[in-house]
Amino acid sequence: MTRSTEGQSGTVLAGSPADGPMVRVEDLRRSYGTGAAAVHALRGVSFEVPRGELVALKGRSGSGKTTLLNLVGGLDAPDGGRITVGGTDLAGLDEDGLLELRRDRIGFIFQSFGLIPILTAAENVGVPMRLRKTDPHEREERVALLLSLVGLGDHTRQRPGELSGGQQQRVAIARALANRPAFLIADEPTGQLDAETGLAVMQLLRAVVRSEGVTVLVATHDPQLLSFADRVLELSDGHIVEHV
């Protein structure tokens, strides 16, 4: 392992399964707006994501899945409640601490891929490592390894516009893994893909949980994909129901 141990979040997240769950959420609340127009997206949500598991988050459109993932990833702050990621209480991190956590320890995958159009597949995967000033040789080696892991070893020089949707999402998965995150957050990663391609992407995520030892929290409303999960959380009326 070449997992870096510099920085506060670095040492905290590089733990073993004995260190407790990857994510612990307690009585989480988040509303949008005020007064009669307020939307109470999360009304006291509690759950855990054990290390090394793939946990699916389901719920109808508007049930609060994206809201919850953004909070767990430190992209948004809650109105109440507590979130710990790898034992670190997110409320205790300042902006720089959150930035470091997101850059070094959490990988994000979005429904819309989020690739940079003018960069090749390889350059896109390399971006998080550039932000972290990883040695160029090490970066190139890891980019090649990740692109072959996601089955795109022959497409490294193509730009997103020259790749299919499924291929673009696989580039995005490779990019999310670039800095060896302990934790992957995926928001409807198969939402823009056909059923067969979505299945392949989900299988890839499943494989990555094994090969890279990461923990995954993935929002999906595709019932076909729930079978890949170790456990399923359902958001309904601002609360979580767990299906093990």
Ligand X SMILES: Nc1ncnc2c1ncn2[C@@H]1O[C@H](COP(=O)(O)OP(=O)(O)OP(=O)(O)O)[C@@H](O)[C@H]1O
Residue position matching structure tokens 């459109």: 61
| Beta-carbon contacts of residue 69 (< 8 Å; ≥ 6 apart) | 57, 185, 187, 217, 219
| Rg for the chain, CA atoms, rounded | 18
Selected range binding ligand X among 60-68, 91-99, 112-120, 127-135, rule: CB under 6 A: 60-68
Per-residue burial over 72-96, b = 16 or more CB atoms within 10 Å of its CB, e = otherwise:
bbbeeebeebebbbbebebeebeee
Site string for ligand X, 207-226 (x = CB under 6 A): --------------x-----
Of the candidates 17, 62, 80, 136, which one interacts with ligand X according to CB under 6 A?
62
Q: Which two structure tokens, joined as six digits, stand for 233?
A: 């959380």
Least distance (Å) between residue 170 CB and Mg ion? 21
CA 148 vs. chain centroid, Å, equals 20
Selected range binding ligand X among 12-20, 32-40, 154-162, 205-213, rule: CB under 6 A: 32-40
If one asks whether residue 59 binds ligand X (CB under 6 A), the answer comes out as yes
DSSP designation for 90 = G
The residue sitting closest to Mg ion, measured at its beta carbon, is 66
Q: How far apart are CA 234 and CA 236, in angstroms?
A: 6
Q: 3-state DSSP call for residue 19?
A: helix
Residue position matching structure tokens 């994000």: 108
If one asks whether residue 190 binds Mg ion (CB under 5 A), the answer comes out as no
Selected range binding ligand X among 57-65, 101-109, 121-129, 192-200, rule: CB under 6 A: 57-65
Of the candidates 9, 63, 124, 168, which one interacts with ligand X according to CB under 6 A?
63
Site string for Mg ion, 64-93 (x = CB under 5 A): -xx---------------------------
Q: 3-state DSSP call for residue 234?
A: strand
Chosen from ligand X, Mg ion, none, partner binding at 64 (C-beta under 5 to 8 Å by type): ligand X
Residues contacting Mg ion: total by CB under 5 A: 2
Selected range binding ligand X among 54-62, 140-148, 162-170, 222-230, rule: CB under 6 A: 54-62
CA 28 vs. chain centroid, Å, equals 19
Selected range binding ligand X among 33-41, 87-95, 102-110, 201-209, rule: CB under 6 A: 33-41
The helix (H) or strand (E) run that includes residue 25 is strand 23-32
Q: 3-state DSSP call for residue 65?
A: helix
Residue nearer to ligand X on the CB measure, 67 or 120: 67
Beta-carbon-side half-sphere exposure of residue 185 (alpha carbons within 13 Å): 20
Site string for ligand X, 64-93 (x = CB under 6 A): xxxx--------------------------
Residues binding ligand X (CB under 6 A): 32-33, 39, 41, 59, 61-67, 221
